[in-house]
Structure 1
Amino acid sequence: MARVLIAPDKFKGSMTAAQVGAAVAAGIRQVLPDASVTVVPVADGGDGTVAAALAAGFTAIPVVATGPTGEPVDTTYARRDDLAVVELADVSGLLRLPDGKLAPMSATSRGTGEVIAAAVAAGCRRVVLGIGGSAGTDGGAGLLQALGARLLDAEGTEIGGGGAALAQVATMDLTALRERMADVEITVACDVDNPLTGPHGAAAVYGPQKGADDRQVTALDAALTHWADIVAATTGADRRDVPGAGAAGGVGFAAVAVLDSLLAPGIELVLDLADFGVHLADADLVVTGEGTLDEQTLHGKAPAGVAAAALAADVPVVAVCGRNTLSEDRLHAAGFTAAYSLVAIEPDVHRCFTEGEELLKRLGTHIAERHLPRTTMATGPAVNHVGIVPQ
């Protein structure tokens, strides 16, 4: 009996990881009805991280927290025993901006800190924090304020939210934060190595993606530099150049410099939460994927992490995607035996979005036919290993 482990990330804007996995599984079973198919949704620390934890058996805990521009949002963290999984994207992320209106100077990470505070108050003593997809560049100041830090201006007034406000910080009091977080261990899912400031820092590299123009990028970088000076003076250590400090608009910096957090690759943390190694042990084939396979995929994205784990276990791995821009050599070097794309069997991109699940079922049949011992044959056009329909 064939044993297949399906571990996809979401197809962003189209399907959740669970939907992708279910569709591929249905296609495989059309060819091999008796196949043992296990679906393990994964993520790389951005949106979908909590969903991956819930799929792995964690319990959903609802929380109302502050959104990136101050409005309340309904969010969820995942809990198992004393471990909480918190996803910045679902409370302080771009997807939480009202009407999608960018707020580069004022967006705050406060809500993420509120979710962590709620988990700690409920008894959690370990937190995995996924920080991809942030809306702001506030250096993690909002997160720290929610956990009890007092950030005061020259007149002793608490500063407001957002990166621009960091320029006003004169003193920092961590007494209440340290009391609250004394026995709490935070691990941050981080897939970038940018420092906090400078030409490769949070403002310069990611500020434009969050709506900052050149003038605002300069102002934000200056504010982050001042913020790093204040934090260094308060804690006795300068952590602005730690790889990953610039992640999520500087939330990585706050986590490392103030919360003594460990930064770790997001996909590795998610695979551990999902007990991926246990499922992998009995697999004959692994299927992973995401919306687009490209060079970014190979630098810390979920499919590359899944492929690396499968390769280490000597289990072949294939990918499904909306589109693939990687060459055969690049795919093979990353550990993929093959990659199958929706656009190879449906050139209409709109239909790939609206009919993605049905198309993925067809790719599932192709995968079963080409990569698993088969007892029956499904009809449909064959697809080669880079997702091109042969004529």
Structure 2
Amino acid sequence: MSTPAPPVIVVAPDSFKGSASAAQAAAAMARGARAVAGDAARIIELPLADGGEGTLDAMLAVWGTEPLTVDATDALGRPCTARYGISADGTTGIIEAAEANGLPQVSDVDPQPLAADTRGVGRIAAALLDAGVQEILLCIGGSATTDGGAGLLAGLGVRFLDAGGHRTGTGGGDLASIEGVDVSGLHARAAAVRWRIAVDVDNPLCGPRGAAAVFGPQKGASPEDVATLDGGLAHLARVLRAEEVAASPGCGAAGGMPLALVAVLGAVMVPGAELVSTAVGLPQALAGADVVLTGEGRLDSQSLGGKVVDAVRRTAAATTRVVVIAGAVQLDAAACRDAGLTAAFSIAPGPAELAGLQADAERLIEDTAAQACAALGLGTGRCG
């Protein structure tokens, strides 16, 4: 009788918010799998993210590179230091926009939704262009801005002009005064690279489901501010001749940041989890996998609509068993089967307080991974 080939196990989780980063969760799952499957097993660690908070760290962990920093400005134009990343081969750069225009950076002052802009994100992009990357992955969650991406382009040298030919501001409250766009000063490489924007919502730019109406209040916008912002975004779309872009799903993400980038630079919007999984090579890793362990803080119906678990289950071959490990599992067995999941396990060993689970998350993730692998028959049948 021939000896079975050692199993190929891919561990590809999102972060467990407030408990473990994606890289920490992946390492814990790998330890648990190794304890059961043995040293002969091939275990591939691919920490993932959905394009929001933590995406930069997840990508750096997979690339094996360190974060770089650049002098930028926050959403209110104050100096700040922002991190960004470049792949080991130097071809791909990643920006987590909230490093410059995020809400936490301006939480020390009263909200200024009409003034906030994305110029600082443009400064990060300029650093990547200067470094010679061929592709920029732009992750835009957590923004304090509603400027349609105008500030970002201004940070790359574009001038926005009023009816008299004078430079305008690029905050959300300035958009209605823009009548012309001068791209003569645009960074020389800005239009030559490939831009992919990670979005995790399907909102259009304007209207009742638009950037201002849905997300503006979270950024401190009053009803009057929302009306101003919505009108300004619609006006900017007309000036850029990008009404069709404005109506597309996802253009309302992060205060409409995709608008100017798609219209001027030909950027492409991509679901965040799909962008990250493609960039780190998940399809290739899963091609020969027997099992994939994925997970996040909470497995529920939203997990199947564009999040990391969704990307993993859609990428895995029909013969690959997909197991979810989560802090809380809110899908029953039938829902898991319908979604193509082999099984889902909560890390909670019993009734527990959230604080306790968070404090001991890595050990619990490791133990649950061992339990799952033993249940799948990947080792001796005994828990690791």
The reply to whether TM is greater than 0.5 is yes
**Do the aligned residues in 2 keep the contact of 1:307 with 1:335 (CA within 8 Å)?**
yes
Q: Which of 41-50 and 75-84 deviates more?
A: 75-84
Q: Say if 1:39 and 1:159 are closer, same or farther in 2 by CA, change over 3 A.
A: same
Q: Deviations over 1:212-251 (max 9, x none)?
A: 333322222122122222222xx7x653212221111111
Q: Distance in 1 between matches of 2:338 and 2:311?
A: 13
Q: Distance in 1 between matches of 2:193 and 2:329?
A: 41
1:185-334 equivalences under 5 Å are 185-232=194-241, 239-310=245-316, 312-334=317-339
Amino acid at match of 1:75: R
Cα offset, 1:42, TM superposition: 0.8
- SS state at 1:86 partner: strand
Which of residues 335, 342, 346 is equivalent to 2:340?
335
Indicate whether 1:184 and 2:214 are aligned: no
Q: Say if 1:31 and 1:47 are closer, same or farther in 2 by CA, change over 3 A.
A: same
Amino acid at match of 1:360: I
Q: Say if 1:151 and 1:357 are closer, same or farther in 2 by CA, change over 3 A.
A: same
**Do the aligned residues in 1 keep the contact of 2:160 with 2:169 (CA within 8 Å)?**
no
Q: Distance in 2 between matches of 1:212 and 1:366?
A: 48
Q: 1:386 matched to which residue of 2?
A: none
Q: Which of 296-305 and 149-158 deviates more?
A: 149-158
- SS state at 2:231 partner: helix
Amino acid at match of 1:68: A
Q: Say if 1:375 and 1:103 are closer, same or farther in 2 by CA, change over 3 A.
A: farther
- SS state at 2:144 partner: coil
Q: Distance in 1 between matches of 2:225 and 2:340?
A: 41
Q: Say if 1:23 and 1:258 are closer, same or farther in 2 by CA, change over 3 A.
A: same
Q: 2:75 matched to which residue of 1?
A: 68
Indicate whether 1:378 and 2:377 are aligned: no
Cα offset, 1:86, TM superposition: 1.9
Q: 2:364 matched to which residue of 1?
A: 359
Q: Say if 1:178 and 1:33 are closer, same or farther in 2 by CA, change over 3 A.
A: closer
How big is the alpha-carbon RMSD for the aligned residues of Structure 1 and Structure 2?
Answer: 2.4
**Do the aligned residues in 1 keep the contact of 2:36 with 2:373 (CA within 8 Å)?**
yes
Q: Say if 1:307 and 1:112 are closer, same or farther in 2 by CA, change over 3 A.
A: same
Indicate whether 1:144 and 2:126 are aligned: no
Q: Which of 339-348 and 18-27 deviates more?
A: 339-348
Cα offset, 1:36, TM superposition: 2.8
Q: Distance in 1 between matches of 2:110 and 2:315?
A: 39
Cα offset, 1:124, TM superposition: 1.7
Cα offset, 1:346, TM superposition: 4.8
**Do the aligned residues in 2 keep the contact of 1:31 with 1:375 (CA within 8 Å)?**
yes
Q: Distance in 2 between matches of 1:313 and 1:269?
A: 22
- SS state at 1:283 partner: coil
- SS state at 1:104 partner: coil
Q: Distance in 2 between matches of 1:290 and 1:336?
A: 14
**Do the aligned residues in 2 keep the contact of 1:128 with 1:186 (CA within 8 Å)?**
yes
Q: Which of 264-273 and 99-108 deviates more?
A: 99-108
Q: Distance in 2 between matches of 1:90 and 1:238?
A: 29
Cα offset, 1:6, TM superposition: 0.4
**Do the aligned residues in 1 keep the contact of 2:60 with 2:85 (CA within 8 Å)?**
no
Q: Deviations over 1:335-384 (max 9, x none)?
A: 211112234535211111222112212212221221233215238xxxxx
TM-score (norm 2): 0.89
Q: Say if 1:241 and 1:15 are closer, same or farther in 2 by CA, change over 3 A.
A: same
- SS state at 1:317 partner: strand
- SS state at 1:320 partner: strand
Cα offset, 1:293, TM superposition: 1.7
Q: Deviations over 1:67-111 (max 9, x none)?
A: 223231231222333321222133322343344965433332222
**Do the aligned residues in 1 keep the contact of 2:51 with 2:273 (CA within 8 Å)?**
yes
Q: Which of 114-123 and 49-58 deviates more?
A: 49-58
- SS state at 2:205 partner: coil
Indicate whether 1:88 and 2:97 are aligned: yes
Cα offset, 1:121, TM superposition: 1.4
Q: Say if 1:117 and 1:329 are closer, same or farther in 2 by CA, change over 3 A.
A: same
Q: Distance in 2 between matches of 1:262 and 1:38?
A: 29
Indicate whether 1:30 and 2:38 are aligned: no
Cα offset, 1:323, TM superposition: 1.6
Q: Say if 1:18 and 1:344 are closer, same or farther in 2 by CA, change over 3 A.
A: same
Q: Which of 336-345 and 110-119 deviates more?
A: 336-345
Indicate whether 1:2 and 2:7 are aligned: yes
Amino acid at match of 1:53: M
- SS state at 2:209 partner: coil
Cα offset, 1:254, TM superposition: 1.5
Q: 1:78 matched to which residue of 2?
A: 86
TM-score (norm 1): 0.88
**Do the aligned residues in 2 keep the contact of 1:244 with 1:253 (CA within 8 Å)?**
no
Q: Which runs of 5+ in 2 are unaligned?
A: 1-5
1:120-135 equivalences under 5 Å are 120-135=129-144
